Amino acid sequence: MKIALGTDHAGFDYKEKIKAHLIAGGHEVVDFGTDSVESCDYPDFVRPAAESVASGECERAIVLGGSGNGEAMCANKVKGVRCGLAWNLDSAIKTRQHNDSNALSLGQRMIPENLVLDIVQVWLDTAFEGGRHARRVEKLESK
């Protein structure tokens, strides 16, 4: 799978950890930055990652920041992107099962380091359930 990554300084350490995990798992990674812990603005990195999903360049995106909230808001402004904010395994599963998320937002300051890769992996491995959820996703896309 081709996966975009985008973060500000507050998510940089987890981005690097996730990137290594994805590459080790055989995924192709497009890293939109940032490339350090120096203070920067997340829209400069999150928006291009989200746009790469909307354009079809990447299949999914993972965006990060301190809380993940602003990053999810930024990604969701891009038509065709359904970015779910996850903070534990169950929230990551539900954003795939119920919302067919094609982007995941994570907060480095909110998630323990020993859990972040498990959240990413369960999100990658979980399928969309369809059914009653499909009509809701269709409504998201039509608005």
Tell me which residues are annotated as active site.
71, 98
Q: Supply φ then ψ for residue 4, to 5 degrees.
A: -90, 145
Interaxial angle between packed helices 113-125 and 12-24, expressed in degrees from 0 to 180 and rounded to the nearest 10 = 50
Residue type, position 21, single letter: H
In whole angstroms, what is the distance from residue 9 CA to residue 54 CA?
A: 24
- Taking every pair of Cα atoms in the chain, the longest distance, rounded to a whole number of angstroms, is 45
Cβ atoms 46, 73 nearer than 8 A:
no
